Chains A and B, each alone.
Chain A
Amino acid sequence: MTALLKNKQTTTEIGLSGQAAVLDLTGGLYLPDEDALLVADLHFEKGSSFARRGMMLPPYDTRETLKALREAVYRFDPRVVVALGDSFHDVGGPERLGDEERATLSEVQKGRDWIWIPGNHDHSLPESIGGRVLSEMTMGALVLRHEPLEGAGAEVAGHLHPVGKVVMRGRATRRRCFLTDGQRCIMPALGAYAGGLNACDAAFKPLFPKGFTAYLIGTERIFAIARSMLCRD
């Protein structure tokens, strides 16, 4: 609420395993040395996935996610885009994608090396969706994969949808976040309907034996929060 927050600050730069990494307010991560944009857990067509089971969620989640994706892509105009898995909520997702959304996706992909890494939700992807599919890949010192691998060195992964919860004098907020110890980075989910797993959850502990800093995505900028300031749900 204070005046200094008024100007939107869309990016925050950190160091990751010896190279620069730019955290973006949309939830994307840009590696300037590689001219690559990484995004995780887009969960396209989660809404229609629920609708199949009788829960008619507003069918606008894919548009909303694409909007964020497009914003990040246009901000950095990267040579490479890597989607770190669970890009679709289920295997039938690409087939349910609406015409308008399909067009937007093609437009964003155009002229870039687009790489899909499959996740547990979208283990197979049709060719019609564009780009190429790699089970995992290396970028400089970093391995890019969907599910973080315990004991592995420098990596960027998704899968876990980290969120951080902060309580200050009785006021609480829960936001998506990047978790990093300088070597590994777990990215937030970018999907509009993607839920979150609290950063205090036991699942994160073996990945960061020496602790981590959480970069919480606020409304106007990203905030670096110490592990000790985070609360459980």
Chain B
Amino acid sequence: MPKSSVPILPKVFRDWFKSRGWEPRAHQLELATKAREGRSVLLVAPTGAGKTLAGFLPSLIDLAEERQASPKKTRSSLHTLYISPLKALATDVARNLEAPVQEMGLPIRIETRTGDTPAHKRARQIERPPDILLTTPEQLALLLAHREAGELFKGLRRVVLDELHSLVTSKRGDLLALGLARLFSIAPDLTAVGLSATVREPDELRKFLVPQRSLPSPRGGGSERVSASGWGDSATLGEVALPTPSRASSATSPLKGEVELPLADLVVVEGGAKPDIRMLDLKEALPLAGHTAALSMPAVYDLIRKHKTTLVFVNTRMQAEYTFQELWNLNDDSLAIALHHGSLDVSQRRRVEEAMTAGKLRAVVCTATLDLGIDWGDVDLVVNVGAPKGASRIMQRIGRSNHRMDEPSKAYLVPANRFEILECRAALDAVHEAAQDTPDARIGGLDVLCQHILGMACADPFRPEDLYEEIRSAAPYAGLSWEDFEACVAFVATGGYALRAYERFAKIVKGKDGFWRVRDARVAQQYRMNVGTIVEATMIKVRLGRTSRSRPGTVVPRGKILGEIEEYFAETLTPGDTFLFAGEVLKFEGLAEDAVLVTRANPGTDPKIPSYEGGKFPLSTFLAARVREILADPFEWDRLPRQLTEYLLQQRRRSIVPGPRDLLVETFPRGGRFYMTCFPFEGRLAHQTLGMLLTRRLERARLKPLGFVANDYGLAVWGNGDIAARVGREPGFLDELFSEDMLGDDLEDWLAEAALMKRTFRHCAVIAGLIERRFPGQEKTQRQVTISTDLVYDVLRKHEPDHVLLRAARADAATGLLDVKRLGMLLQRIRGRIIHKPLDRVSPLGVSVMLEIGRERVYSDDADEILAEAEAALLDEALA
């Protein structure tokens, strides 16, 4: 711990703080001290706490002193590496860092390296590295696969990992962890600093920052925690782990002799003022379903008018488009309102970002692309339209307003339907209690490991035993077995198939000396083209067309590119369809080579195609549990708006309001069919999987299911068989229907066909390097060399069901698009707690999910069923 701030900060820094009228904050000094002691640290702090400066301060001090000591000497390797999840964030931080460096007159070179950096600059960065390099996990992977990596990083002193909480929950985090492990091998004196928002399990992030090797138990015990609040300026320092003799402190378990994995030190800055956050309370009754919040738009517009700069967050691109459109329709004052989402053209996004930073905008409607810590200037209000989906997510978003932590952030939650009121209520409670629901730490993906192994072979020949040890020092891979590692090496070499047919084509080859080497430069080139873990849904450009002069009535692709949409959305369009994109209503004209050709629809046209993406994030487990609790407790209802209380009272009269752990299953006839609705509140993905499996089981029980829809709260299944009658005859029927054994054979059977599973497999195949990425425009010329991963999946599943790629895909499916893990938890929770309520018509709760019919897709992976329906249309045509 710092004895006093004086020796830590050199004079030039103290003067600079003074000249700005600032006091260095306690945690900033604390990080400087820890850096001097050679310790890695996790800094957990709310937005506006000066996190970034705290992360860089030690490097700036170090470099300033180094320069002062020997002004002539130049470094041949990097001093500090900064990694951010977003390109834009790296650029933004570089800009913010330049200011103090220039003001203090420090001779420090700061550069960024992203996918946009020109080739000559990249080459120069390796020849003559800057002092501080700001980059992304993908670029780090590329640098580490470079033959000069050892030279470039050997003098590296420090790594700063920004927004670590958001990185560690994805495969990018896996890739970063592996890169970090390599950095620690190259530069053993390195220390890492993680900057993070508040998280549920800080220890997971602390593990991430130090090599995970079992250290001998340090003398004098592990990290002791002291309260160090009450000193420094406004920032109160929470828990500070005391330094121990080893570089990383090891938390020892109370059991003697047992040593847990090493942890980085922890510095926590408690949040400043509590956020001022409310739910927008409309007097009008909200609809029972839908996500557009149309009724609330005048109120949102009014809020924008009354504030300086507002960020309007929504969950999906479609909602962004819709909200933007609605606000413009109301914009009588011609306020500068802009739109920002990931599908828009980069140049358009940059223009919005620049206008935002320059303070020229009154509001930006945006999606998760702006979730992370970019400093957009003076935002004084955050509006979140639609369901919050998670407590931590909403706190992050609220943190975007009022970037000074001592003043309360101001935010409004705007529910779009009646159910979302419940979710907003639960989120408000969570924010009030500062409860967190960040996801669990990941177990590193085997597909990412395959990619990394090839990269390491490109850098230098490796001995498998050494690389295995290095990889296991990365937290997500600490538990990696030698067998899995070997399987990945075999995959990289020849695909790792039991039928060893490809030995002579091997990409990496084991020499007599026991070292694996990359076969030739072409393989290294292949690696460079395919690095990274982000596999977007195949995107297709949206190009504005013009009417041809020579051939009136035909549209030619002569206009500008408006952005990109998912290929699968484009597939559902037919010429003449209108849809919202880039803030305009566009008419689909057809597909032209590599783009979707569109024209501007006539003013006043309503978009015909309602959406091209559902709710992106499923409801978090934590919020879901809270929603169930609020629902189950009538005393809680007093805190809800009247319209919802009345709705719940009606539900109680007509059916049942289930307890927090119960599953209510309602059955009722309607329009000649039999419906079953149930309300697990476990998020849309888990419900979709449940729906798929339930329909398979109902089919087997000869109850003739016809389809189902799911949303975040529940699902509805319908068919020609009377489920209620069956329950009457067989009282245990529902328990059996919802029994956990559906996750066995039924799941396996479905996975053979499941489109979502095939998509998951494709992602793994691309990341692992089985197939090459498709680049826009390549499709036409490369038809011969592309291969459908669906076909590969079918063949591999039949012949080697335990192949490492299939295992990687199954692990993803458990938590990803299929959310099998959560479904398992759900089925366990409701065992013996299913309450069946036969009704003669739909209940108030049931209406909310029934309204999704026609709005949401009806799910089915049964090709024959779809084909039979299409064939019937041919017969109808013939008979007509």
Interface residues of A (CB under 8 A from B): 1-3, 5, 46, 48, 50-61, 63-64, 98, 165-173, 175, 192-196, 213, 216, 218-221, 223-226, 228-229, 231-233
Any A CB within 8 A of the CB of B796: yes
The answer to whether A221 touches B864, judged by C-beta atoms less than 8 angstroms apart, is yes
Q: At the interface, yes or no: B350 with Cβ under 8 Å from chain A? A: no
Of the 9-residue stretches B132-140, B340-348, B476-484, B501-509, which lies at the interface with chain A?
B501-509
* Of A54, A195, A226, A231, most B-chain CB atoms within 10 Å: A54
> Does A58 contact B799, Cβ atoms closer than 8 Å?
yes
Is residue B255 contacting chain A, with contact meaning CB distance below 8 A? no
Instruction: Give A57 to B859 CA distance when docked, in angstroms.
Output: 30
Contacts of A228 in B (CB 8 A): 877
CA distance A56 to B493 in the complex (A): 9
Q: Which residue of B lies closest to A225 (CB)?
A: B870
* B795 and A58 form a contact (CB under 8 A): yes
What is the distance, in angstroms, from B203's C-beta to the closest C-beta of chain A?
39
Closest 3 CB pairs of A and B: A56-B495, A59-B501, A173-B863
- Say which residue of A5, A60, A224 sits within 8 Å of B799 (CB atoms): A60
Do the beta carbons of B857 and A171 come within 8 Å of each other?
yes
B798–A1 touching, CB < 8 Å: no
Most buried by B among A57, A166, A219, A229: A57
0 or 1 for each of B769-811: is its CB under 8 Å from A? (1 = yes): 0111000000000010111100110111011100100000000
Contacts A/B (CB < 8 Å), 8 sampled: A56-B495, A59-B502, A60-B798, A64-B795, A192-B794, A195-B786, A223-B864, A228-B877
C-alpha spacing A59/B866, complex, angstroms:
32
Residue from the list A2, A61, A224 in contact with B871, Cβ < 8 A:
A224
Q: Does B550 contact A (CB under 8 A)?
A: no
Asked if B522 is at the interface (CB within 8 A of a chain A CB), the reply is yes
Out of B507, B522, B770, name the residue touching A57 (CB < 8 Å).
B770
Question: Is the Cβ of A175 less than 8 Å from the Cβ of B505?
Answer: no
Please tell me if the beta carbons of A56 and B505 are within 8 angstroms of each other in the complex: yes
Asked whether B835 is an interface residue with its Cβ less than 8 Å from the other chain, the reply is: no
Could you give, for residues 842-863 of chain B, a 1 whenever the CB lies within 8 Å of some chain A CB and a 0 otherwise? 0000000000000001111011
Residues from chain A with a CB closer than 8 A to the CB of B795 are 58, 60-61, 64, 192-193
Out of B705, B798, B866, B871, name the residue touching A171 (CB < 8 Å).
B866
* Bound-complex Cα distance A233 to B705 (A): 29
Taken residue by residue from 694 to 715, chain B's Cβ proximity to chain A (1 for < 8 Å, 0 otherwise) reads as: 0100010000111000000000
Name the one of B505, B791, B863, B873 contacting A226, with C-beta atoms under 8 angstroms.
Answer: B873
Indicate if B210 sits at the interface (CB-CB under 8 A): no
Q: Give complex CA distance A50, B271 in Å.
A: 55
Provide the bound-state CA to CA distance between A2 and B868, in Å. Answer: 9
Cβ contact within 8 Å between A55 and B874:
no
Residues of A within 8 A of B863 (CB): 173, 175, 218-219
Q: Closest A-chain residue to B491, C-beta based?
A: A56
B783 contact set on A, CB distance < 8 A? 195
Given the interface pairs A56-B495, A56-B505, A57-B495, the reply to whether A225 lies near B800 with Cβ below 8 Å is no
Given contacts A56-B494, A229-B873, 9 further A-B contacts (CB under 8 A): A60-B497, A170-B858, A194-B791, A223-B870, A225-B867, A226-B873, A226-B877, A229-B870, A231-B571
Interface centre among B491, B494, B859, B864 (most CB of A within 10 A): B864
Q: Does any Cβ of A come within 8 Å of B865's Cβ? A: yes
A56 CB contacts on chain B under 8 angstroms: 491, 494-497, 502, 505, 507, 770
B772 touches A51 (CB 8 A): no
For B502, the chain A residues whose CB sits under 8 A away are: 48, 51, 56, 59
Most buried by A among B491, B770, B783, B786: B770
In Å, the complex CA distance between A181 and B574 comes to 25
Q: Say yes or no: A54-B526 contact (C-beta < 8 A), given A48-B502, A166-B867.
A: yes
Q: Do the beta carbons of A60 and B791 come within 8 Å of each other? A: no
A58 touches B796 (CB 8 A): yes
Tell me the bound Cα distance from A51 to B491 in angstroms: 12
A181: shortest Cβ distance to chain B, in Å?
A: 15
In the complex with contacts A5-B865, A169-B858, A232-B591, A193-B792 CB distance below 8 A: yes
Do the beta carbons of A58 and B571 come within 8 Å of each other? no
A54 touching B798 by the CB < 8 A rule?
Answer: no
Q: Is the CB of A60 within 8 A of B499?
A: yes
B332 lies within 8 A of chain A by Cβ:
no
CA distance A3 to B572 in the complex (A): 29
B513 contacts partner chain A, Cβ-Cβ < 8 Å: no
What's the nearest-Cβ distance from chain B to residue A182, in Å?
15
B497 touches A58 (CB 8 A): yes
Residues of A within 8 A of B705 (CB): 1
Residues of B within 8 A of A51 (CB): 494-495, 501-502, 505
Residue in chain A with minimal CB distance to B696: A1
The residues of B that contact A169 with a CB separation of less than 8 Å are 858
Q: Which of B772, B799, B864 contacts A219 (CB 8 A)?
A: B864
**Bound Cα distance A160, B865 (Å):** 26
Quick one: which of A46, A98, A171, A175 contacts B501, CB cutoff 8 A? A98
Asked whether B869 is an interface residue with its Cβ less than 8 Å from the other chain, the reply is yes
Q: Which of A1, A168, A172, A219 is within 8 Å of B571, CB to CB?
A: A172
Please give, as numbers and ranges, the residues of chain B lying within 8 Å of A48 by CB-CB distance: 501-502, 505
B523 contacts partner chain A, Cβ-Cβ < 8 Å: yes
- B495 A59 Cβ-Cβ under 8 A: yes
B517 CB to closest chain A CB, in angstroms? 15
Candidate in B705, B706, B788 with the most chain A CB atoms within 10 angstroms: B788
Among residues of A, the one whose C-beta sits closest to the C-beta of B876 is: A226
Counting chain B CB atoms within 10 Å of each CB, which of A58, A170, A171 scores highest?
Answer: A58
| B706 / chain A contacts, CB cutoff of 8 Å | 1
B800 touches A1 (CB 8 A): no
Closest chain A residue, CB of each to CB of B794: A192
Contact yes or no, B505 A223, CB < 8 A: no
Cβ contact within 8 Å between B523 and A54? yes
Instruction: From A64, A167, A223, give the contact of B798 (CB < 8 A).
Output: A64
Least Cβ–Cβ distance between B125 and chain A, in angstroms:
28
Q: Which residue of A lies closest to B523 (CB)?
A: A54
B706-749 Cβ-contact flags toward A at 8 Å (1 or 0): 10000000000000000000000000000000000000000000
Contact A1 B522 (CB under 8 A): no
Inside 8 A of A64's CB, which chain B residues have their CB? Answer: 795, 798-799
Complex Cα distance A196/B741, Å? 37
**For residue B873, which residues in chain A have a CB less than 8 angstroms away from its CB?**
226, 229
Q: Measured between alpha carbons, how far is A68 from B794 in the docked complex, in Å?
A: 14
Residues of A near B507 (CB, < 8 A) are 54, 56
Q: Which residues of B contact A170 (CB under 8 A)?
A: 572, 857-858
- Give B521-554 interface residues, CB cut-off 8 Å to A: 522-523, 526
Query: Which B residues are CB-close (under 8 A) to A193?
Result: 787-788, 791-792, 795
Q: Which A residue sits closest to B572, measured CB to CB?
A: A167
Please name all residues of chain B whose beta carbon is closer than 8 Å to the beta carbon of A167 when the two chains form the complex.
571-572
Residue numbers in B under 8 Å from A165 (CB-CB): 571
* Shortest Cβ distance from A5 into B: residue: B864
For A63, list chain B residues within 8 Å (CB).
799
